[in-house]
Amino acid sequence: MLFVYGTLRPGFDGPMAHWLADRAEWVGAGWIGGRLYQVADYPGFVPGEAGRVRGDLLALPDAEGLLARLDAYEECRPDDPQPHEYRRERRVVETANGPVEAWVYLYALSVTGHRVIASGDYLAER
């Protein structure tokens, strides 16, 4: 499972969102504890802060291949230049049917100076 909260979400009109939608299966909506920040023309998720971030859960039929391509897109492979802007971790995501564990890309740099997306829903803010 993969939890997406920004430009990879179904409903976002971007090339990687379309690419992922063609290869993954939408499972349902989910929420994760933390806060969203507007980094540039994309958001960054920071866990552990007060708040709730809305996103979508996706099942990945070829998880290894798809995650490798997404790691390249997010520039968080071991051979990508440091510091990485994102890191991929497994986190608990809340759903209407209870909690599930999923991969999520966490924003790994400072959020100082970045605007908080107060609603926690990137698509609703656009």
pLDDT of the residue at 87:
96
Q: Both tokens of residue 50? A: 């007060």
Q: pLDDT tens track of the chain, all 126 residues?
A: 999 999 999 999 999 999 999 999 999 999 999 999 999 999 999 998 689 999 999 999 999 999 999 999 999 999 999 999 999 999 999 999 999 999 999 999 999 999 999 999 999 987
22-53 as b/e: b if 16+ CB within 10 A = eebeebeebbbbbbbbbbeeebbbbeeeebeb
pLDDT of the residue at 50:
85
pLDDT of the residue at 49:
65
Q: Both tokens of residue 24? A: 């993954």
Measured CA distances, 107 to 21, 34, 57 (Å): 22, 11, 18
pTM for the model stands at 0.95
* CA separation for the pair 47, 53 (Å, rounded): 9
Q: Which domains does the chain have, with CATH numbers?
A: 2-125 (3.10.490.10)
